Amino acid sequence: MISWLFLAPFAVSVVLSIWNRKAGYMALAVSSAILLAGSFIHFEYIDSFVVIASLVWIFSSWFSVSYGEKYGKWLAPMFGSTIFGMAIILLSRNYLEFLAGWEAMSVSSYVLIALNRKNDYPPFVFMAFSELSTVLIVAGAIYSFYLTGGTSIAFTRVDSVIPLVLFTLGALVKMGMVPFMISEWLPIAHGNAPANGSAILSATMTLMGVFGIIRVMLLSPISALFGVIVIAMGVLSVIFASLFAYVSEHAKMLAGFSTIENNGAILAAIGFYMIAETTILKDFSLVVIVIFSLSHSLSKTGLFLGIGASGKEHFLDDGTSSSRFSRVGELLSTASLSGLFPTIGGLGTWMILEMFFMGATFLGYLGIVSIIAGSLIAIGEGFATAAMMKAFVFTQLRNGKEKGMRSEHTVVFSIGIILILLFILSPLFVGSEFLGGLPSVFVFNGFTIQSRFASADFGLVSPDYVFGLLAVFSLATYAIFRKPDTRSVPAWKGGREITENYTSYAFSNNIRLMLKKILRPGIGERSQYMAISDAFWAFMILLTKSYRKVAKGFTLGFMNSSIRWYMIYMILAFMMVLLLTILL
């Protein structure tokens, strides 16, 4: 682990941002670059998350230099404070330091979301779930402290899975996973933040949950049953989030559902580590977690920043300005989130599917769980591809008049290029045990990534070979045919009148109709589906109202300043404390 000294530049950057917005953002970019370089001094597996987060912070801070003036002077300090809290988490050596960073990150993020004053509801939703997350993590930390005999709050190996279970539940709340996805709190909160804030919340705040689970998991006994439960939560999150992303009409909320989908896949990979029966499969799953986290974090940063650069948060809105560089950058980001080559997201998707299909060799029910999980993740990736196409088409291609290239467009374009470069260079950061080659077809040793559960290979892919073939065939096609001739034809408008524009609503109406039993569309004139209400969210509101009614009745009936009831409370509390003291 790297030194706490790397936190000092972040603290200076936050102070500097209060004085000068642009100087603060530039200082944050420099601080992140210093942390990135420092992570390689004594590199361990857990430092991979430092590298991923630092890359996101560099691009987000660079983007922010010319973004966000309309949000006032507090956007930059809160943006920096959120990153500062996450840096504390990544450098933490014990539960207390982790929790300090977790709360610093949560409180700053609450203010960051509240800066978008269109709606006061999202920040309160975010804070409620954040505090629930904190309570669960605190419970896990306390139980771990108890298991050490009350001698250490450090991250140490324990002989019980309970701290991992509590810690995982706390992280799942922050990541918006099933069952906490039902309330849709993460897309609501992240979708209402400024674009640069949405990027670091979805790309790295949820990554802190992954980091926390991995940190505790590597120090805990492994439970196959808990692994199956984690896989189930992850797979359900992938399916439902990809569907909800497909039907979303708000660009940043679509990206928020995509975050849940990506995190669901990562969570499923964590669950696979828990059920893996061989060391080589466990090692492969750890590589998959890092590759998929890297692709998700950078691609999601490119998507959110691309939406911010377009000035188009709702698909029916008019864009402000467009740049072909920004369009290329967002195209590559959405391609990576769709699991397509030649981006790092394509490699991550290939690896996670290979991993679960290799798990089909497990004996008993674990093999069945693995093959079903892999199949459902593949289906979810298909829906995610359609959602990403929708996000790209209805933000970038329908923008305003093209203007000169701004720094915001440069950042989005740069992220897209990095996604390709990471794909090309991926053999450099995959363990040697998963590298090979096929010299007979000019793929030399060290240039092929191989999936294996024993000495024999299960599957393989050569990123450099794939990129080379795509480049050669693309250039050859262009050289032969040049720019193709175009002709105008009437566009199919999804059943809408010929005089109406084809909208994002029409694009995803097929899924909306298939999910009518879940989404509960209202019936309008001539039996046409006119309005959509989420049955899950309606249930959550009903549950909340019922709880408030019960709480009010309890307050009026028992908490009514009666000395008799207060004496009963004191006696019961004393007996409870005495009982806990005897048991512990």
Which of 97-111, 140-154, 211-225, 227-241 has the least mean pLDDT? 140-154
Residue 404: the pLDDT is 47
Whether residue 426 sits in one domain with residue 463? no
**pLDDT of 326-360, one tens digit each?**
888 888 999 999 888 899 999 999 999 999 988 88
Amino acid at position 139, single letter: A
CA–CA separation, 512 vs 190, rounded Å? 23
Check whether 516 has a pLDDT greater than 90.
no
Whether residue 134 sits in one domain with residue 236? yes
Whether residue 316 sits in one domain with residue 459? no
Whether residue 463 sits in one domain with residue 415? no
Check whether 542 has a pLDDT greater than 70.
no
**pLDDT of 76-114, one tens digit each?**
888 889 999 999 999 988 888 898 888 888 888 888 877
Range of the domain at 184: 4-430
Q: Which helix (H) or strand (E) holds 127?
A: helix 121-147
Select the more confidently predicted residue: 548 or 156.
Answer: 156
For residues 369-382, average pLDDT: 90
As a whole number of Å, the CA-based R_g of the chain is 25
Q: Count CB neighbours of 522 within 10 A.
A: 9
Whether residue 177 sits in one domain with residue 255? yes
Highest mean pLDDT: which range of 306-315, 361-370, 498-507, 528-537? 361-370
Residue 523: the pLDDT is 44
The count of structural domains within the chain is 3
Residue 93: the pLDDT is 86
Whether residue 196 sits in one domain with residue 49? yes
**pLDDT of 236-275, one tens digit each?**
989 888 888 888 887 888 888 888 889 999 999 999 999 9
- Strand 459-461 and strand 443-451: the pairing is antiparallel
Q: What percent of the chain has pLDDT over 70?
A: 77
Q: Please check whether residue 221 lies inside any domain of the structure.
A: yes
Whether residue 426 sits in one domain with residue 279? yes
Q: Please check whether residue 505 lies inside any domain of the structure.
A: no
Select the more confidently predicted residue: 184 or 444.
Answer: 444
Q: What percent of the chain has pLDDT over 90?
A: 20
**Distant-in-sequence contacts of 102-106, Cβ < 8 A, 24+ apart:** 102/133, 102/134, 102/137, 102/208, 103/134, 105/205, 105/208, 106/130, 106/131, 106/133, 106/134
Q: Count CB neighbours of 165 within 10 A.
A: 20
Whether residue 196 sits in one domain with residue 304? yes
Residue 59: the pLDDT is 92
Domain termination site, one of 466, 481, 496? 481
Is the bond into 342 cis (omega within 30 degrees of 0)? yes
Residue 439: the pLDDT is 75
Q: Please check whether residue 486 lies inside any domain of the structure.
A: no
- Token readout for 349 is 């998707």
Residue 520: the pLDDT is 53
Name the band, by pLDDT with cuts 50, 70 and 90, for residue 563. Answer: low
Q: Please check whether residue 512 lies inside any domain of the structure.
A: no
Whether residue 305 sits in one domain with residue 271? yes
For residues 32-53, average pLDDT: 89
Residues in Cβ contact with 345 at an 8 Å cutoff, skipping those fewer than 6 apart: 295, 296, 299, 335, 336, 337, 338, 339, 419
Q: Please check whether residue 499 lies inside any domain of the structure.
A: no
CA–CA separation, 213 vs 207, rounded Å? 10
What DSSP string describes 204-241? IIHHHHHHHHHHHHTTS---HHHHHHHHHHHHHHHHHH
Whether residue 310 sits in one domain with residue 241? yes
CA–CA separation, 88 vs 107, rounded Å? 14
Q: Please check whether residue 205 lies inside any domain of the structure.
A: yes
Check whether 461 has a pLDDT greater than 80.
yes
Backbone φ, ψ for residue 579 (5° rounding): -65, -45
Q: Please check whether residue 519 lies inside any domain of the structure.
A: no
For residues 190-216, average pLDDT: 85
Q: Please check whether residue 511 lies inside any domain of the structure.
A: no
Residue 298: the pLDDT is 92
Is residue 205 a contact partner of residue 256, using CB atoms and an 8 Å limit? no
**Would you call 408 helix, strand, or coil by DSSP?**
helix
CA geometry: angle 337, 340, 342, nearest 5 deg: 115
Whether residue 472 sits in one domain with residue 549? no
CA–CA separation, 77 vs 456, rounded Å? 53
Is the bond into 179 cis (omega within 30 degrees of 0)? yes
Whether residue 562 sits in one domain with residue 459? no
Residue 294: the pLDDT is 93
Which ranges constitute the DSSP H helices of 432-520? 463-481, 504-507, 509-514, 516-519
Name the band, by pLDDT with cuts 50, 70 and 90, for residue 527. Answer: very low
Q: Count CB neighbours of 560 within 10 A.
A: 8
Residue 538: the pLDDT is 61
How far from 138 is each of 94, 95, 164, 171, 471, CA to CA, in Å? 12, 8, 12, 11, 51
